[in-house]
A = this chain, B = another copy of it.
Amino acid sequence: MIGAVQIPCGVAGPVLISGDYLDGKSYLPMATTEGALLASVNRGCSVISDAGGASVRVLKSGMARAPVFRVDDVAAVEALCEWVDNNEERLMSAAEGTTSHGEVLDITPYSVGRSVYLRFRYDTKDAMGMNMATIATEAACELIEAETTAKLVALSGNLCTDKKPAAMNAIEGRGHSVTADITIPTAQLTERLHTTPAAFAEVNTRKNLVGSAKAGSLGFNAHVANVVAGIFLATGQDEAQVVESANAITTAEVRDDGLYLSVTLPSLEVGTVGGGTTLPMQSEALEMIGVKGGGDPPGTNAKGLAEAITVGCLAGELSLIAALSSQHLSSAHTALGRE
């Protein structure tokens, strides 16, 4: 180690949030070398607050680790899956013996040829949980190797899926699956963001839905990664997990009463204890959001952080898509950030 790199850090907001874990006004600390990004998210936060605030829900949680085993042939695949099914409680017990907080949620088998992947999902409370999940899974693997003919090939078989963009996470979730949404009154959208619900929705459809479809993309949004990366750095999260944490679908609809906007992040991997969260500035940033350290009850701080990030993404999408739909993207780069 040779010291530390400094990343400029600012705060967007406050933004009014109505969630299960955050309720009221929150500030969003973001570390970024792109000052315009903060201004853009800030603009979104202001409009969201004036429109009554964003709703947000953590709909599913669970950190996954999926070791890969080799067995002799497909008959042995079937036998191993049956063994796992019959010994689920023992496997859970072995895994949970390694951790004071974590709980195994479920164990799902997948296979290709004679490779068997067992996807263990854990409730890791306020920890992001990769270390906990890895150590616990290793203990379960030892039981499998001791009692079956299966040979552990790798403790991670990429069906977890960690730090790669995968449909597995987009469909089944990893970390926290979170949606934030809001309806912005037409008058406000017009006055504050110089666009209309119809123009905004058209950008979202042609760019985020149809454009992403044509691009063979797993992400259907404008710039969720900017916000995720910014808050991740500010709060001491694992920066490489931006890859899957930023995977998101943004939807926009014209409603009678304005524009409905939502952003859904299926695999937002965050924690408020462990890793970089204990560094000084990062710890302060968590405190600013009100989610520093272990929550009471356990898990509520990590979920609160997930709510804050998702609302930040909603603000970023609102601001950038509005800017695009009023045709000022590149001139707005100085003022409003960029994708």
Contacts and interface: CB of A to CB of B under 8 A. Distances in A.
Contacts of A333: 131, 134-135
B112 A33 contact: no
Interface residues of A, number: 127
Contact of A209 (B35, B55, B213): B213
Nearest to A181: B74
A304 to B, nearest CB: 16
Identical copies in the complex: 4
Interface string A327-338: 101100100001
Given A154-B203, A171-B168, A213-B212, A74 B135 contact: no
Interface string A203-226: 101111111111111111111111
A7 interface: yes
A61 interface: no
A251 B338 contact: no
Given A4-B281, A112-B251, A163-B339, 4 more contacts: A74-B179, A113-B249, A113-B251, A243-B243
Interface of A: 1-11, 29, 31-35, 38, 55-57, 59, 66, 68, 70, 73-75, 77-78, 81, 110-115, 117, 130-131, 134-135, 137-138, 152-159, 161-168, 170-172, 179-181, 183, 202-203, 205-226, 228-230, 233-234, 236, 238-243, 246-247, 249, 251, 253, 260, 262-264, 275-276, 279-282, 285, 324-325, 327, 329-330, 333, 338-339
